[in-house]
Chains A and B, each alone.
Chain A
Amino acid sequence: MSDSTPQRNVIALLPEACTSCMVCVRECPSWCISLESHVEAVSEEGARRPRTVNVLDEFTIDYGLCMYCGICIETCPFDALAWRDSFDYSSGDRQGLRQDAVDLSRWWPTGS
């Protein structure tokens, strides 16, 4: 459970694991996560009904708003969010604390 222990460092995203289910966005107490996705049809040979899949377009955590409670990590059904160790990402401007999927996924490989 080390990934679930809040150290007030940074929350990383694994975009491939995210299904755009919106659970984290809705559970976040400080409304700091925003998520955009679209639905794509999946063509499957012999399928009885049309199938669709959610495709993640944008995922942003506003670290100027985040209260580091870790509820998003706890509630993610697909383990697409996890704590990582870095604390050194201050910004000279307010908008610089808004980190998108590319920024957030860079934290992922650094290990917990």
Chain B
Amino acid sequence: MWRLASRPDVAVDVASAGLACCSLEVEAAGQRGLLVASETVPQAAAVTVLVVAGTVTTAVEPALVRLFDEHAQHGPVIIVSFGACATSGGPYWDAPTVRPGIEALFPGQEIASYVPGCPPRPEALVVELERLVDSRIPA
């Protein structure tokens, strides 16, 4: 779990569902200090941003849906599709064991943002998270 370093006053947790190489870019955003580990922030988050980073295989799909459900029990969840695999299946879009994007996995739940890249740069994640926080979450 992470918080946005540039928005320390906004109670939003960034939960990364790291399924493949894209998750390394989420970690890199942490390494560069753009995201900070949320244990360091005392107040509980009102909103969770679930960043799906990586290839969603048919085997891992139930675990991803479960992760979303767990977060959804505690409050609103904003879903971000991070990278080509989460968006469309990426280079594996024609593989029978790979879901061609996460759109169909969360019925009735919109995907707030699609971040392009294979993998996207850490800056691309942070810029988009800042935009989502500023537009959707009252300070």
Find B121's partner among A8, A69, A92 (CB 8 Å cutoff): A8
**B120–A94 CB distance below 8 A:** no
Binding site for A on B (CB under 8 A): 84, 87-91, 93, 101, 103, 111-121, 123-124, 127-128, 131
Find A65's partner among B90, B112, B127, B128 (CB 8 Å cutoff): B90
**B114–A8 CB distance below 8 A:** no
**A93–B114 CB distance below 8 A:** yes
Return B2 CB to nearest CB of chain A, in Å. Answer: 18
Name the A residues within 8 Å of B116 (CB-CB).
Answer: 63-64, 66, 89-91, 97
Task: Give me 5 A-to-B residue pairs in the complex whose CB atoms sit less than 8 angstroms apart, sorted by A's number.
Answer: A31-B93, A64-B116, A67-B84, A87-B117, A94-B111
Number of residues in A with C-beta < 8 Å to the partner? 24
**A9–B121 CB distance below 8 A:** yes
Tell me the bound Cα distance from A7 to B121 in angstroms.
9
**A87–B121 CB distance below 8 A:** yes
Task: Tell me, yes or no, whether A77 is within 8 Å of chain B by CB.
Answer: no
**A96–B84 CB distance below 8 A:** no
Tell me the bound Cα distance from A7 to B117 in angstroms.
10
Tell me the bound Cα distance from A7 to B93 in angstroms.
23
Tell me the bound Cα distance from A63 to B118 in angstroms.
9
Binding site for B on A (CB under 8 A): 7-9, 29-31, 62-69, 87-94, 96-97
Tell me the bound Cα distance from A93 to B111 in angstroms.
8
**A88–B84 CB distance below 8 A:** no
Name the B residues within 8 Å of A64 (CB-CB).
Answer: 84, 87-88, 101, 114, 116
Name the A residues within 8 Å of B123 (CB-CB).
Answer: 87-88
**B114–A90 CB distance below 8 A:** yes
**A66–B118 CB distance below 8 A:** yes
Find B120's partner among A62, A87, A93 (CB 8 Å cutoff): A87
**A30–B119 CB distance below 8 A:** no
**A91–B117 CB distance below 8 A:** no
Tell me the bound Cα distance from A62 to B123 in angstroms.
21
Name the A residues within 8 Å of B90 (CB-CB).
Answer: 30, 65, 67
Given contacts A87-B120, A87-B123, A88-B124, contact A62 B114 (CB under 8 A): no
Which of B111, B118, B128: most chain A Cβ within 10 A? B118
